[in-house]
Structure 1
């Protein structure tokens, strides 16, 4: 489901994987059934995360579960930002393999282990 490659030209030494599928903001708006301006508001409110890929703001597809943003994603993003992570670093953390979860924090968020992901994100601030 993921492709292992360098993020923005950097060498990957932390087992980070990049999502296999990205959605542009208009695709997110369509999927969620909301105007594009509301997608921009979700980004400003830290309820969703997007990074530039090929010059376009994109969101990993799995962070949008059906017709909504993953339930615990906004809380995790807030914790990561409180720990000083920018969007690129937060995304890298979400997609860094962790055998104790197993998988990545992004996988764990969508598979019922959100409490543990939040606990780990909170610990980054200390």
Structure 2
């Protein structure tokens, strides 16, 4: 079933159900070889997106945003595009992890170096 069959606002999506594994800022920092403060800056600058996946959990980032110790290629540009469409980080994460028109989720396409498909789909949001 695609998300268009049952339109749940992205802001209301259950991120914990959509994302298999989360990293807190300290874990993400260790993975990237930077400080937790740098991770916070990366989130602010839309290089990665972060959210509180469920109550009682610290702000975290999806583990799938990283591959081989780096940020997945194309993620930063996609996040900038989604923010240009007035998405907040929670909505960005929900969109990236929702199986819709691609085949598969946008995060899977990015991780498989099929970012052009994802960007084309993101460009038409709101039209």
1:28-56 deviation per Cα after TM superposition (whole angstroms, max 9, x unaligned): 00011111121111111110000012341
1:25, 1:40 → 2: CA distance? Answer: 7
What is the number of residues matched between the two proteins? 114
| Structure with greater contact order relative to length (CA < 8 Å, sep ≥ 6) | 2
What SS class does the counterpart of residue 51 from structure 1 fall into?
Answer: coil
Unaligned stretches of 5+ residues in structure 2: 1-7
> TM-score w.r.t. structure 1 length?
0.81
Cα distance in structure 1, aligned partners of 2:51 and 2:30: 19
Q: 2:78 aligns with which of 53, 58, 76?
A: 76
Q: Which residue is 2:63 aligned to?
A: 61
TM-score after normalising by structure 2: 0.81
- The CA RMSD over aligned residues, in Å, is 2.1
- Identify the residue that residue 102 of structure 2 maps to in structure 1: 101
Please say if residues 32 and 67 of structure 1, whose CA atoms lie closer than 8 Å, have aligned partners that are also in contact.
Answer: yes
User: Whose helix fraction is larger, Structure 1's or Structure 2's?
Assistant: 2
Structure with greater strand share of residues: 1
Give ranges in structure 1 of 5+ residues lacking alignment: 1-5
Q: Residue 39 and residue 97 in structure 1: after superposition, are their counterparts in 2 closer, same or farther (change >3 A)?
A: same
